[in-house]
Structure 1
């Protein structure tokens, strides 16, 4: 899920960079790029990828044996 959000953020940052535009408070394409990289790092770390399969199974859904 975070990778999809990161892709959208990268797209917005790319458009802002192409148009050489800034949003209020100095938010530019570089800001969106850094936010997208942060979201990708969280995705690679496993944050936001938990699946809920009931009360047994923990955050990955299965335990190793």
Structure 2
């Protein structure tokens, strides 16, 4: 899930850079940093939906 969020953030950052869009606080650099944070969380295992339940 966090990898999907990172992909969306990177896509929005690309659009911001291509069209030179800059809101007051949200810039392409902020979106790239947020995307990298999501990728790091994904690689650390946060947000993974793998849960194994065993029945005895």
Query: Normalising to structure 2: TM-score of the pair?
Result: 0.83
Q: Tell me: higher relative CO, structure 1 or 2? Use CA pairs within 8 A at least 6 residues apart.
A: 2
Rg: which structure is higher?
1
The aligned counterpart of 1:43 is 42
How many residues get paired? Answer: 54
Gaps of 5+ in 2: none
Give SS of 2:52's match: coil
The aligned counterpart of 2:10 is 10
CA RMSD after TM alignment: 1.7
Poorly superposed stretches of 4+, deviation over 3 Å: none
